[in-house]
């Protein structure tokens, strides 16, 4: 997956720190501890409700906690959200576990929770993202994260939060742009290019991507009733284009 050795425990703790700062409470309390084999993470064990059908739960579109988890995953760039990582408790709250492969600088969101892709973020998500954004710009949270992640991983996290707040949509899977040769060349392309030029290129890219996407979505509407609409998909495409321009999509 391309994560440096010895960093997974820090990512687990950083995921808890982000979830707590935003007020999501998605991650059980998690701390770093010294153990007999060196430092590692220690996480509160959640006695989850084993009667819940996790497959049915993972497909729900009306579960606020599950939707919080989808937004949390977009922020931490979770590369491994599986159904078995859902921990529902009897009071209705939902926790998640296994956040060792989060916070890559590249856009690597891999999740079973795609049901809101391209959809507008609800107000409670925007409030949580604003809370998190404010704290990411304060010294306290930055200091806490800097012992767990690299400076560029923290910076990529900040960019994802700002991009989500700007476009207010759940992101799409990164396959399209990420596999496009243009995306891998974007980093080199933008070396030394001024901010103003980048903006012009970004908007042109967005326009072209939106037109292509609209055409593709129009075509899909005829074949699938579950297709997302152009109105919701365009900001989601823009989300990817901007992440690509920031070098977050490779
Ligand atoms: N904090 C926790 N509270 C309760 N159960 C947990 C907790 N952490 C992990 N588990 C349980 O242990 C299982 C395995 O944990 P985890 O996913 O972290 O390990 P893994 O080796 O990466 O497994 P996987 O192949 O599922 O990714 C989880 O699916 C979950 O059922
Ligand atoms: Mg795992």
Q: Is the pLDDT of residue 250 over 80?
A: no
Q: Is the pLDDT of residue 86 over 70?
A: yes
CB neighbour list of residue 242: distance below 8 Å, 6 or more residues apart: 163, 166, 167, 202
Confidence of residue 246 (pLDDT cuts 50, 70, 90): low
Q: What is the pLDDT of residues 179-204, one digit of tens each?
A: 455 555 665 666 666 666 766 776 77
Spell out where the chain has E strands.
Answer: 30-35, 38-43, 86-88, 94-96
- The mean of the pLDDT values for the chain is 84
- In a mutational test of the pocket of ligand 1, which residue from 30, 84, 95 has the highest number of ligand atoms less than 8 Å from its CB? 84
Nearest CA to ligand 1 atom 9: 97
- Cβ proximity of 76 and 153 under 8 Å: no
Nearest CA to ligand 1 atom 18: 98
Q: Give residue 5's pLDDT.
A: 85
Q: What is the pLDDT of residues 110-128, one digit of tens each?
A: 999 999 988 899 999 999 9
User: Residue 249: what are its φ and ψ, rounded to 5°?
Assistant: -100, 130
> Is residue 157 within 6 Å of ligand 1 at its C-beta?
no
Q: Give residue 135's pLDDT.
A: 96
Q: Is the pLDDT of residue 225 over 70?
A: no
Q: How far apart are CA 89 and CA 31, in angstroms?
A: 21
Of 165, 137, 122, 156, the C-alpha closest to 245 is 156
Among 74-78, 149-153, 210-214, 215-219, the range scoring the smallest mean pLDDT is 215-219
Treating both helix axes as pointing N-terminal to C-terminal, what angle do 8-22 and 123-136 enclose, rounded to 10 degrees? 120
Domain ranges for the chain, please list them: 1-172, 175-250
Residue 214 or 37, more confident:
37
Question: How far is the CA of 48 from the CAs of 92, 118, 218, in angstroms?
Answer: 10, 30, 43
> Is residue 85 within 6 Å of ligand 1 at its C-beta?
yes
Q: Is the pLDDT of residue 147 over 70?
A: yes
Q: Give residue 191's pLDDT.
A: 61
- Cβ proximity of 102 and 78 under 8 Å: yes
From ligand 1's centre to the CA of 99, what distance in Å?
Answer: 10
């Amino acid at each position: 997956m391309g994560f440096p050795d010895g960093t997974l425990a820090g990512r687990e703790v950083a995921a808890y720190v982000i979830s707590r700062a935003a007020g999501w409470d998605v991650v059980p309390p998690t701390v770093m501890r010294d153990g007999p084999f060196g430092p590692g993470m220690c996480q509160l064990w959640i006695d989850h409700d084993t009667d819940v059908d996790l497959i049915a739960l993972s497909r729900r579109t009306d579960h606020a906690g599950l939707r919080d988890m989808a937004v949390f995953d977009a922020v931490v760039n979770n590369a491994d959200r599986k159904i078995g990582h859902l921990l529902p408790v009897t009071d209705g709250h939902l926790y998640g576990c296994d956040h060792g492969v989060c916070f890559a600088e590249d856009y690597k969101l891999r999740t079973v929770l795609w049901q809101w892709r391209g959809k507008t973020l609800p107000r409670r998500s925007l409030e949580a993202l604003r809370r998190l954004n404010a704290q990411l710009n304060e010294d306290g949270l930055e200091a806490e994260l800097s012992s767990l992640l690299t400076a560029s991983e923290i910076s990529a996290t900040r960019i994802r939060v700002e991009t989500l707040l700007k476009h207010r949509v759940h992101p799409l899977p990164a396959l399209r742009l990420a596999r496009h040769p243009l995306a891998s060349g974007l980093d080199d392309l933008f070396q030394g290019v001024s901010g103003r030029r980048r903006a012009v290129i970004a908007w042109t890219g967005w326009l072209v991507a939106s037109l292509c996407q609209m055409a593709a979505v129009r075509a899909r509407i005829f074949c699938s009733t579950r297709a997302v609409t152009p109105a919701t998909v365009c900001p989601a495409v823009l989300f990817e284009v901007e992440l690509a321009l920031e070098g977050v999509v490779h």
